[in-house]
């Protein structure tokens, strides 16, 4: 059998190629999951900022607003500002998961008209 010696020598090459490619695949997967997680956090933060701005515009109490924000985006920091008839909410949250290793933060702002 002329090809028998060649097959015996190639037996471990697939395992070696897999062992070399696996860290790269894991790294790409972690980057994709981190990006998706950042996108979801951005959407949650933007929704929470819009809700907070509407609450501030209605004149809701601060403890109720803080409790609602803590449920929507745990660990988010918030501040508010007023400019004429507009009241704005600004939220900042630190990324979690793989993106936390890079120290990334996500922010969102929203404004609503204050009731008279």
pLDDT (tens place) for every residue of the chain, 116 residues total: 455 555 556 677 888 888 888 999 998 998 888 889 999 999 999 999 999 999 999 998 889 999 999 999 999 999 999 999 999 999 999 988 777 888 889 999 999 999 86
**Distances in whole angstroms, Cα of residue 37 to Cα of each of 14, 17, 22, 86:** 33, 30, 22, 31
Backbone angles phi, psi at 74, to 5 degrees: -60, 135
pTM over 0.85, yes/no: no
In angstroms, rounded to a whole number, what is the distance separating the alpha carbons of residues 25 and 31?
Answer: 10
The residues with which 109 forms a beta bridge, in sequence order, are: 90
């Amino acid at each position: 059998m002329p090809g028998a010696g060649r097959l015996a020598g190639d037996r471990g090459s697939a395992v070696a190629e897999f062992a070399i490619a696996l860290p790269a695949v894991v790294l790409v997967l972690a980057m994709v999951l981190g990006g998706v997680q950042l996108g979801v956090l951005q959407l949650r933060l933007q929704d929470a900022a819009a809700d907070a701005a509407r609450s501030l515009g209605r004149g809701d109490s601060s403890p109720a607003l803080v409790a609602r924000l803590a449920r929507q985006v745990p660990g988010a920091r918030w501040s508010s500002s007023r400019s004429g008839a507009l009241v704005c909410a600004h939220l900042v949250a630190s990324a979690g998961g793989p993106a936390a290793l890079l120290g990334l933060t996500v922010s969102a702002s929203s404004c609503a008209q204050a009731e008279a």
